[in-house]
Chains A and B, each alone.
Chain A
Amino acid sequence: MKRGLTLGVLILMVFLAAKLPDKIWHQPQHFPKPAFNFKERPLEMAKVQLGRYLFYDPILSKDNSISCASCHSPYNAFAHTDHTLSHGINDQIGNRNAPALFNLAWQKSFMWDGAINHIEVQSLAPITHPKEMGENLADVLTKLRQSSFYKSAFKQAFGDTLISSAQLLKAIAQFELTLVSANAKFDQVIQGTDTFSLQEQKGLAVFNQYCKTCHPAPLFSTYEFANNGLAPDSLLQDVGKVRISQLAADSFLFKVPSLRNLTYTYPYMHDGRFKKLGEVLKHYEKLFPLTSNNKSDLLAFLQTLNDKVFVFDPRHQFPKIILEANEGIKD
């Protein structure tokens, strides 16, 4: 009887171990509960990997020239730094600055104006945008179905070779959800494994006084919409959230960006108007009485939000395997 029980427990343990995914995602202890429902849609390694291939593969664009990573580079915390505005197929310039991608699991809506309500449907926007990847979903699926590499990657991830749009979208989302930035000096201080310098401490105090309401720790954003006093750009005429909601009260509201990884994610703001953090603080001088000491302390504190471990994490980088996979594809 007892032996039977032990055996049962053993079998159960083996079973659980087999079920347990590799540690693809874990909840940082000092983070709030994510907005994404991982219970309902657990991450699976094969799907995450497929998503990573797709994220880096220009096969998603009309002329096979632009991948998601063209605008969201891992070394820039998945933002884009060459241009203030995004840069798509046929050298077309878009209307907005490509945001950094991390901690997406905590966001309730996506895009600077909150146009997208779920991470799984976000990729539809760049894939079909004429100035981004300029493709249509049906053609992307046709290309993927012709690739033996993707046939087997989809089979591994989803158990069939259907290659449906839902599978494509879910896989990309699964990869993006693994992009968690929770390893900056700030995080170490919270966890008690590091300490702030005096200047960083002073910077934190300034931050708490003026910035915390919209950019609260540990995500450094409410991910709500706000107006931080930027003058509207006369050329782009970007009105922000009102474009989506059609409510006058939402005019010139933009999603509050996180302040993690700022060293990597320049230029700043929805239109990339500031190249340097100094310019950003100069802007905030108009709203808050920031002395020059305040500003240098603040800059020192913001540096503690840079997460090198995340930015150089090899698990998020270019998967060389797709080079072989695409040998057959001509532009």
Chain B
Amino acid sequence: MKKLVCIWLLFTSASIKAQDSLYIKFVPIFNQFQVEPSQTYPYLKDSISFQSLKFYIGHIQFFKGEVLVASAPETHYLLNFEESTSQLIGLANKKTFDRISFELGVDSATTVSGALSGALDPSLGMYWTWQSGYIHAKIEATLYSKEAQKTELILHLGGYKQPFNTLQKLQLSLVQTDTLSIGIDLTNLISSALALPQNQVMSPKPEALILSKQLANAFKILAK
């Protein structure tokens, strides 16, 4: 199977000149493979495929030491690995930085401010309609087992109110490069989710909190 191939995500418009641009790419990984839609990956004695992988990334900021040097132009980006493979996230002014911070999900201040558009449009399938709130991360997978029936894993992780505010704040130290590769290694998260008595988590509750923390730990800067 393929090694880590880039999945590019759009950060800003095409007006950025290549030389002074910074790109971020997010790469979902499972069991050391880069995840692609409708592919099947080995898992213990079974195999697994991913139907849906969508994440909200919010308030991306770049720091040099303790100093904030740049912020992403949009407050929120929706990473959708079901779709295209050819988009870039870019920052126009390249500054020197050694740390990046961002949120996984949509913060509560944003969540209580009515009907929003762009990446936060509620028609994008990342908004619960029967109760207010964004789904911070959506992971849908199927486990095919030789012995047992297939298992549908549905994780709609969200929640903006305490005690189940599942928003995660991440900080990653790094060595600056023109393209930052951030891996999202889903292996541990998937095995925890499969170990739950119920393989479907679709509302803010303790399981959502635990899995969200685990998902936050899955984000790692990838070596070049």
Q: Which of B131, B163, B164 contacts A115 (CB 8 A)?
A: B131
Given A118-B113, A120-B115, A121-B114: A165 touches B121 (CB 8 Å cut-off)? yes
Cross-chain contact A165 with B123 (CB below 8 angstroms): yes
CA distance A170 to B121 in the complex (A): 12
Cross-chain contact A141 with B130 (CB below 8 angstroms): no
Cross-chain contact A165 with B112 (CB below 8 angstroms): no
Report if B198 contacts A (CB, 8 A). no
Report if A117 contacts B (CB, 8 A). yes
Contacts of B112 in A (CB 8 A): 117-118
Cross-chain contact B132 with A121 (CB below 8 angstroms): yes
Q: Which of B121-169 contact A (CB under 8 A)?
A: 121-123, 127, 129-133, 161, 163-164
* Smallest Cβ-Cβ distance to B112: which chain A residue: A117
Contacts of B131 in A (CB 8 A): 115-116, 244
Shortest Cβ gap from A239 to chain B (Å): 13
Q: Which of B115, B117, B161 contacts A121 (CB 8 A)?
A: B115
Contacts of B206 in A (CB 8 A): 246
* Smallest Cβ-Cβ distance to B127: which chain A residue: A124
Q: Which of A216-262 contact B (CB under 8 A)?
A: 244-247
Cross-chain contact A116 with B114 (CB below 8 angstroms): no
Contacts of A204 in B (CB 8 A): none
* Smallest Cβ-Cβ distance to A126: which chain B residue: B129
1/0 per residue B189-216: CB within 8 Å of A? 0000000000000011110000000000
B contacts with A, residue count (CB < 8 A): 23
CA distance A44 to B143 in the complex (A): 52
Interface size of A as a range: 20 to 34
CA distance A116 to B114 in the complex (A): 10
1/0 per residue A13-44: CB within 8 Å of B? 00000000000000000000000000001000
* Smallest Cβ-Cβ distance to A140: which chain B residue: B123
Given A166-B116, A173-B114, A173-B115: A115 touches B122 (CB 8 Å cut-off)? no
CA distance A136 to B121 in the complex (A): 13
Contacts of B111 in A (CB 8 A): 117
Q: Which of B123, B129, B203 contacts A125 (CB 8 A)?
A: B129
Cross-chain contact A164 with B121 (CB below 8 angstroms): yes
Cross-chain contact B132 with A129 (CB below 8 angstroms): no
Report if A128 contacts B (CB, 8 A). yes
Contacts of B163 in A (CB 8 A): 247
* Smallest Cβ-Cβ distance to A124: which chain B residue: B129
Shortest Cβ gap from B8 to chain A (Å): 26
Contacts of A129 in B (CB 8 A): 129-130
Cross-chain contact B114 with A246 (CB below 8 angstroms): no
Cross-chain contact B164 with A246 (CB below 8 angstroms): yes
Cross-chain contact B123 with A120 (CB below 8 angstroms): no
Contacts of A41 in B (CB 8 A): 114
Shortest Cβ gap from A189 to chain B (Å): 36
Shortest Cβ gap from B152 to chain A (Å): 19
Report if A138 contacts B (CB, 8 A). yes
Report if A169 contacts B (CB, 8 A). yes
Give 28 CB contacts A-B under 8 Å.
A41-B114, A115-B132, A116-B132, A118-B112, A118-B113, A118-B114, A118-B132, A120-B115, A121-B114, A121-B122, A121-B127, A121-B132, A124-B122, A124-B127, A128-B130, A129-B129, A137-B122, A165-B121, A166-B117, A166-B121, A169-B114, A170-B114, A170-B115, A173-B114, A244-B131, A246-B204, A246-B206, A247-B163
Residues of B within 8 A of A (CB): 111-117, 121-123, 127, 129-133, 161, 163-164, 203-206
